[in-house]
Structure formats: structure tokens, C-alpha cells
């Protein structure tokens, strides 16, 4: 619709966005047909347990539905890469995939890069790794 108003052709990979995401996420599409199993918390015969064949956590019982859903989304790859068979459970996982496997496309689509610098030294990397580095080195 916007493309028609501005006479600019929509990018062929512009699939829109997913539920809570508000940023331009034209580089991914959702695959809701592969959503995880539904769960009825009142049914105690249905534990929150991964039964995905080959999963190293198969048989693990999850106490919280949110943790189970996040784990199952890893199998379902709700965020699929449009350039290869890769993807991830969450947008941040796909962002990391894009910067690792498709940096030119990541740059072209202005995909956010989770990279920060330690304020005490030259170490840089993903925010979780820099936090661990700062904890280990005492760089606070």
C-alpha cells in the first residue's frame, strides 16, 4: 500500500511483521503453520515436555509455559531466513543469523546488530558476552 502511494516498488522480500514486532522486519517471514502444540494448564495429563525427535532436551518437563514455548519455537523456527534454510525462535536469533551468514543483506535491511564494547578495554561482542567479560574481568 505504501509502495503504491509513493510509486516505489515494494521489496520482494517484504513479508510484513510478526505479532509484537514493530520494527521493519522485511527480511523474515513467519511460519505459523508450524506453531507449537497448544497447552491446557488444567489438563495435568499433558506435561510441558519436548517430544521432538533428536532433541537433546527431549523428555525434559518445563515448569513454565513460556519456557516450554521458547524451547519449542527453536524447533519451529518462527523466524525464517529468506536467503537460506536458517532462522530462529526469536527476532534476535534471526538478527544474529543475518549478521553471521548474510552481512550484506543485514546491512541493506538495517538489521540491528547486538554488538557492544567494554568501556574498560578493547573487547567487543554480543551484549551477553561483554557482560560475562565484564563480570570476569571486574570491568565495572
Most confident of 25-29, 49-53, 133-137: 133-137
Q: Which residue has the higher pLDDT, 43 or 13?
A: 43
Q: Can you give the pLDDT at residue 22?
A: 38
In terms of DSSP H, where are the helices of 33-111? 65-76, 91-101, 103-108
Query: Does residue 115 carry a pLDDT above 60?
Result: yes
In terms of DSSP H, where are the helices of the chain? 2-6, 65-76, 91-101, 103-108, 127-137
Percent of the chain with pLDDT over 90: 26
- Alpha carbon dihedral 51, 93, 123, 136, in 10-degree steps, equals -30
* Cα 130-132-138 angle, rounded to 5 deg: 95
Q: Can you give the pLDDT at residue 19?
A: 36
Q: Can you give the pLDDT at residue 13?
A: 39
Buried b (16+ CB within 10 A) or exposed e, 8-31: eeeeeebeebbeeeeeebbbbbbe
Q: Can you give the pLDDT at residue 78?
A: 73
Question: CB within 8 A of 16, min separation 6: which ones?
Answer: 25, 29
Per-residue confidence band for 40, with pLDDT thresholds at 50, 70 and 90: low
Q: How far is CA 6 from CA 27, 45, 132, in A?
A: 21, 55, 47
Q: Can you give the pLDDT at residue 98?
A: 93
Q: Can you give the pLDDT at residue 77?
A: 67
Contact 114, 129 (CB under 8 A): no
Contact 135, 129 (CB under 8 A): no
Amino acid at each position: 500500500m505504501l509502495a503504491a502511494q509513493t510509486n516505489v516498488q515494494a521489496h520482494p522480500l517484504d513479508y510484513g511483521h510478526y505479532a509484537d514486532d514493530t520494527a521493519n522486519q522485511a527480511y523474515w517471514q513467519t511460519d505459523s503453520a508450524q506453531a507449537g502444540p497448544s497447552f491446557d494448564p488444567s489438563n495435568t495429563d499433558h506435561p510441558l515436555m519436548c517430544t521432538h525427535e533428536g532433541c537433546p532436551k527431549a523428555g525434559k518437563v518445563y515448569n513454565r509455559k513460556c519456557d516450554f514455548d521458547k524451547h519449542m519455537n527453536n524447533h519451529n523456527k518462527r523466524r525464517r531466513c529468506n536467503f537460506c534454510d536458517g532462522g530462529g525462535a526469536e527476532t534476535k536469533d534471526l538478527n544474529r543469523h543475518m549478521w553471521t551468514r548474510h552481512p550484506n543483506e543485514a546491512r541493506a535491511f538495517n538489521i540491528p546488530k547486538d554488538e557492544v564494547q567494554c568501556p574498560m578495554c578493547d573487547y567487543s561482542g554480543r551484549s551477553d558476552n561483554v557482560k560475562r567479560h565484564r563480570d570476569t574481568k571486574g570491568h565495572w
